[in-house]
Amino acid sequence: MKFVVDAMLGDVARWLRILGYDTLYSKDFKDWEIERVARSEDRVIITRDVGLYRRARRKGLRAVLIEPGSIEDDLLTIALRTGIEIRFKPSRTRCPHCNTELVIIPKAEALSLVPSHIGTRYDTFWKCPKCGRVYWQGSHWRTINSIIDSVNRRLPSTY
């Protein structure tokens, strides 16, 4: 499942990419651009804009309306409406910045790319083949994991 996310939901776009879903996002997206790319690339629209949501649905496009709330609420709504899994898979995560599939790189290569106190502390590093950014599961991952756990606890048990 692929997504296109409206300009108000940058956090949601970054999350969907980290979770491995092909997600288009731009701060400058116009509604018509979102509708066009949703149709041509078979993407689900994620939006906080009721007008865009209703227009998209009338045109037969798949869309999820996000009520104002926390990122946890947003992910829960998307999971319930689309059936996607909210799980982190190290082998299929995407660059939160540019949506490109990340590649796990050998630790030796990472050591040449990140500060030494980071290189020695972590074992798994990802690199974006497009924008060159390097990622690791730093201290903010505790928060990310607790949000993932909490979303899964709130999903129905048959899910």
Contact 147, 72 (CB under 8 A): yes
Indicate the residue among 100 and 150 with the shorter CB distance to Zn ion: 100
Spell out a b/e string for 100-112, using b for 16 or more CB atoms within 10 Å of the CB, else e. Answer: ebbeebeeeebee
16 or 95: CB nearest Zn ion: 95
Of the pair 17, 48, the CB lying nearest Zn ion is at 17
In the block, residue with structure tokens 């309306």: 65
Among 62, 81, 97, 154, binds Zn ion (CB under 5 A): 97
98 is an interface residue for Zn ion by CB under 5 A: yes
Rounded distance between C-alpha atoms, residue 10 and residue 152, angstroms: 22
The verdict on 95 binding Zn ion (CB under 5 A) reads: yes
Residues 52 and 30: beta-carbon distance below 8 Å: no
**At its nearest, how many Å lie between Zn ion and the CB of residue 126?**
10
- Does position 103 interact with Zn ion (CB under 5 A)? The reply is no
d(CA 40, CA 115): 42
By CB under 5 A, tell whether 105 contacts Zn ion.
no
Contacting range for Zn ion; rule: CB under 5 A; set: 40-48, 60-68, 70-78, 122-130: 122-130
